[in-house]
Structure 1
């Protein structure tokens, strides 16, 4: 985007509009969530949390670890795509830290700033980091398009009667998502123009084989996230339905710009599943999910980050002495 466009008269209005919309969501989400929770039996929620068998908690932690490793593979695909030679043992802890910070804080902190800082300290140049980061974003949302498209098109998520989209509209959206994902793979397979120059960055289409791998690992990560919640819910919970609700809540969290989707996830799950599952069980599962997938990895990521910073400081000292 050119500097002239950035200073166009319409842009300040757009920026202010986004700020007002974000402020509205920051106010509306807690109010709506309070309305959902005001009659909650919190003793029943605490009892549901205490009643989790140890194997269920262990399984949820194991699936969370598998999900984080799957997300780390996004940057390993970027390593293959760009041809950079950073060792895998350096890439995985770096991406783990960025993902945990991204989930708990926001994309600018964990997804962008921290990723560029840590990669550049390992000697990767900015254009390469940008290409790795771009491929990671595409992998995540390509997997989302495939998975959400299939779940919505199959009608596995039942929306409340008052929702404007409706179940038929959600199916149409699902089909559109699948078409968009197919177009990306077809473009990777058949497009004659393989690269575009945007500012100082070169965007290059990957091979169709890599595009299919992107779709597979991106969808796998979303599936594992939903599996954690499903494990923590009662046995009658329908996994495809839980997956669909998670996918809806995730995109709602992106739209609202609320860090960690705090309150958004809970409101969507309570709204869509409260007629199918006990509210206490739903809340216990969501609290457990946040503990297992957000807070526990963040505590590990902080420790890893301190180690990475210490190593980077030692490397800079060694380089100054060598010079």
Structure 2
């Protein structure tokens, strides 16, 4: 049975979808399907392949999250198993929404079969989430400092605020690295006891987190037309803002949130071209992995059922 907090976040997610879709309709109600089709057909085969390669890179980085967490726990599990578990977890969570299906169920079922305790799995889930958050802080900080005028696309403020926020975010990352280097006292949240990882583990986190975000943003970048393209750093910055809003809204798949944010932040590009790029992103990053993850879950549950009945 779902907890009251689960119902609340589900309702918030649905409300975010409804509001975003309403705002999106206001932006695109004059757009024809022919325009959208022409924008999709205008994407070259080379760029389709580059977008597909970026998708593979993003899911490789997500699997690396689990591998880093397991290294922190001192556990050795085959790379193939980790990859399938991570792929399934994120493919389901990205589409269904963290408020409804957090992915914790998949990890719990999978890693329990490899002998991990519930406490270890809980720490693994926290560690993977923290790696993503760390990657977001680092990537956002670098973009805000290197591209300070980018903030004007999403808010009516000066570039100085962008640099200030960027330096603050980078300072948080530096503090985490310092804590690992000097081995600060462990964090304690209720029953969760988290020690600072070894510096080598932190180094891998600082590579894996940004890598996943860079590759995910690259899917959209490669699908956008060359003419009027604002550049990869701008696309990355808008992606970070829109993806963060989508996560905060708990909207399944960021439905409507990504589209509204990108359309508002990229007025120099035709609406049809922006929507076409986001369709490519949804197909490669969300829908195809979602379909494949369902097959992985069915295969895993079938193998577990056969194993129990043989015993």
Q: TM-score, normalised to structure 2's length?
A: 0.90
Q: What SS does structure 1 have at the residue aligned with 2:301?
A: helix
**2: CA distance between counterparts of 1:39 and 1:231?**
26
**2: CA distance between counterparts of 1:51 and 1:31?**
28
The offset of 1:51, in angstroms, is 2.9
Which ranges of structure 2 fall in alignment gaps of 5 or more residues? none
Which of the residues 115, 119, 125 maps onto 1:127?
Answer: 119
**2: CA distance between counterparts of 1:199 and 1:158?**
39
Instruction: Work out whether residues 100 and 110 of structure 1, in 8 Å CA contact, stay in contact via their aligned partners in 2.
Output: no
The offset of 1:15, in angstroms, is 9.6
Which of the residues 261, 264, 267 maps onto 2:260?
Answer: 267
Q: What SS does structure 1 have at the residue aligned with 2:225?
A: coil
The offset of 1:17, in angstroms, is 8.7
The 1:17/1:111 distance shift into structure 2, 3 A limit, reads closer
State the partner residue of 1:220. Answer: 211
Moved over 4 A (4+): 14-24, 159-162
State the partner residue of 1:230. Answer: 221
The 1:27/1:51 distance shift into structure 2, 3 A limit, reads closer
The 1:136/1:38 distance shift into structure 2, 3 A limit, reads same
Alignment of 1:113-152 (within 5 A): 113-152=105-144
| Structure with higher RCO (Cα < 8 A, 6+ apart) | 2
CA RMSD of aligned residues (A): 2.4
Q: TM-score, normalised to structure 1's length?
A: 0.86
Instruction: Work out whether residues 17 and 256 of structure 2, in 8 Å CA contact, stay in contact via their aligned partners in 1.
Output: no
The offset of 1:257, in angstroms, is 1.2
State the partner residue of 2:95. Answer: 104
Matched, 1:294 2:286: yes
State the partner residue of 1:181. Answer: 173
The offset of 1:179, in angstroms, is 0.9
**2: CA distance between counterparts of 1:239 and 1:170?**
18
The 1:273/1:178 distance shift into structure 2, 3 A limit, reads same
Instruction: Work out whether residues 137 and 169 of structure 2, in 8 Å CA contact, stay in contact via their aligned partners in 1.
Output: yes
Number of residue pairs matched? 305
State the partner residue of 1:252. Answer: 245
State the partner residue of 1:155. Answer: 147
